[in-house]
Amino acid sequence: MLRNRSAPHARVTPVLTVADVRAAVTWYTEVLGFVEHVRIGDGHRSQLGLPDGPAAELVVAEVRPGRRTPEQGRSHQVMLKVADVAGVVQMALAGGAVLVDPPHDWEYGERQATIDDPFGHQWVLGQTLVDVEPEEWGGQTVTPRTAARGYRRSMSIEDIGPRPQSFDIESETLQNRNYRTVAWSGKYLQVTLMSIPVGGDIGLEQHPATDQFIRLDAGRGRAQMGPAKDELTFDQEVTDGWCVIVPAGSWHNVTNIGDEPMQLYTVYAPQHHKPGKVHETKEDADRDTDDEPAEWSVQPQSVPDQHA
């Protein structure tokens, strides 16, 4: 699907009509944590998104013929997942919202509260407490989300070594749940998929004779690089669609600073890991003593990698 930097990237984008676009944008960013991506005119329309990327986006638009502000008895709601329902409700009420339904824990593993914002729109704020199968509380699974593109599940590819290969790398990266999964190992380069948990990081390291390419497909990270492990002079926030280019000899790390797993893939030249190697956690990788490149891979004659 093509993307246009002048338009929302989400497949479904709700449009909230308000009497004062700028006031609404300020409220949605300060209270609900949205960020403004595109502004059209001073008070005509704004495109908002969540800081971790385009998984959820929102258009705030002015009143015009055929598009009016909501009235009493409206039928729509906007559901928003947050980390702390009670905390967001407090901020919302302090900012002029009206409490419709206080925080309540439901049998399907969610804590929810409902508010009316100052601009006439109703929000259901949700906080996930536990992962529950629908059948556990009386629901029914119709089409499993694992069948939907981009929903995380176990990856379906395997490392076939230095043979021709082709796969949907974005989908496989999003589906990978492991800290590191080696997806393809060639004679001169290697592709690995990584999932970094909230607050986790790739690990501070240096590859003396290897350039490295890293691309994020989900989440939000902080990329740091520099000439020494205590001199990381490059510091950049990165998110979905961003890449990180690591020159050989640079100390580098990428830390998850978002509120969801950071999904990424990386390309080394040459191999760094045993073909097909899977590490569920960073701790597993640190303990592994059997993670050497294949003998048939071409390796530079240089000092080994360094890890902080």
- Both tokens assigned to 76: 């729509």
Residues 6+ apart with CB under 8 A from 103: 85, 86, 89, 111, 112, 113
Q: How many CA atoms lie within 13 A of 220 on its CB side?
A: 11
Angle at 25 between CA 21 and CA 29, to 5 degrees: 175
This prediction's pTM:
0.53
Other residues' Cβ atoms within 10 Å of the Cβ of residue 220: 22
CA pair distance 212, 73, nearest whole angstrom: 56
CA pair distance 226, 247, nearest whole angstrom: 10
Q: How many CA atoms lie within 13 A of 32 on its CB side?
A: 29
CA pair distance 119, 21, nearest whole angstrom: 9
Q: How many CA atoms lie within 13 A of 24 on its CB side?
A: 28
What local confidence, expressed as pLDDT, does residue 150 receive?
39
What local confidence, expressed as pLDDT, does residue 75 receive?
66
CA pair distance 114, 125, nearest whole angstrom: 6
- Both tokens assigned to 242: 């961003």
3-state helix, strand, coil in the chain (%, to 5): 15, 35, 50
What local confidence, expressed as pLDDT, does residue 40 receive?
87
Closest CA to 250 of 300, 201, 195, 213: 213
* 308 residues of the chain, pLDDT tens digit each: 456 667 777 767 898 999 899 999 999 999 999 988 888 888 888 999 887 655 678 899 998 777 677 776 666 889 898 889 999 999 999 999 999 999 999 988 899 999 999 999 999 999 888 877 788 888 877 655 543 333 434 456 789 999 999 998 998 898 888 999 999 999 999 999 999 999 999 999 998 888 999 999 999 999 999 999 999 999 999 999 999 999 999 999 999 999 889 999 999 888 889 999 999 899 999 999 998 889 899 987 766 667 77
What local confidence, expressed as pLDDT, does residue 301 receive?
73
CA pair distance 193, 191, nearest whole angstrom: 7
100 vs 23, 66, 89, 116, CA distance in Å?
22, 28, 11, 7
What is the radius of gyration, based on Cα positions, of the chain?
23
What local confidence, expressed as pLDDT, does residue 138 receive?
86
CB 70 within 8 A of CB 118: no
